[in-house]
Amino acid sequence: MRPLTEDETRTVFEKIANYTGGSLKNLIAPLPNGDRFVLRIQKDRVYYVLLSIANLATSIARDKLLSVGTCLGKITKTGKFRLHITALDILASHARYKLWLKPNGEMPFLYGGHVVKAHVGRWSDDCPEHQGVVVYNMQDVPIGFGVTARSTAEAKRLAPTGIVCFRQADCGEYVRDEDNLFTSG
């Protein structure tokens, strides 16, 4: 487990900032007890972990350490960063734009489908196109995240079957991809 390089850090922060906006700095701000969260990489996975725990993890051999903290995602072989569903709690607590699904839209989303206009219950005002959003059900439980296909203004003029949000990850992945969600490679 090692700290991220400057390029890796920039790539990770650019991706997360698409969902959190200005509250990105709150992710790594010092906590009242003097500790803070840091980003660490193990193989190709990026973890969000307390600094005190990351320091303790250095006493474990790299090949024996499976994970520590919350897995945010992985850095691909091409150098891009892909967020995993395990980052949902962190994204949801700092989300800038949100989208709420009606009950009839939850299952299609959780089975890996994109969000269509007919399934949208509410949406954050003035959300631009190609912006990261956290998807909630109507009980305010985060169930995934995605990228908007249309801005809020454009979506109002869209047909009910038009896609308004491209799914990036959903809670159904815990079941669908359980074999390779936490493994490297």
Contact 88, 171 (CB under 8 A): yes
Q: What is the mean pLDDT of residues 19-45?
A: 88
Which element (helix H / strand E) includes 137? Answer: strand 132-137
Report pLDDT digits (tens) over 52-64: 999 988 888 888 8
**Tokens representing residue 165 in the block:** 């949000």
Q: Hey, is 156 helix, strand or coil?
A: helix
Q: What is the mean pLDDT of residues 148-158?
A: 91
pLDDT value for 24: 85
**Lowest-pLDDT range, 20-29, 131-140, 147-156, 162-171?**
20-29
> Domains of the chain, with CATH numbers?
2-90 (3.10.450.220), 97-175 (2.30.130.10)
Residue 101, burial from CB neighbour count under 10 angstroms (0-12, 13-18, 19+): buried
- Residues 172 and 107: their CA atoms lie apart, in Å, by 9
Residue 25 region by backbone torsions, left for phi larger than 0, else alpha for psi between -120 and 50, else beta: alpha
Q: How confident is the model at residue 65 (pLDDT cuts 50, 70, 90)?
A: confident
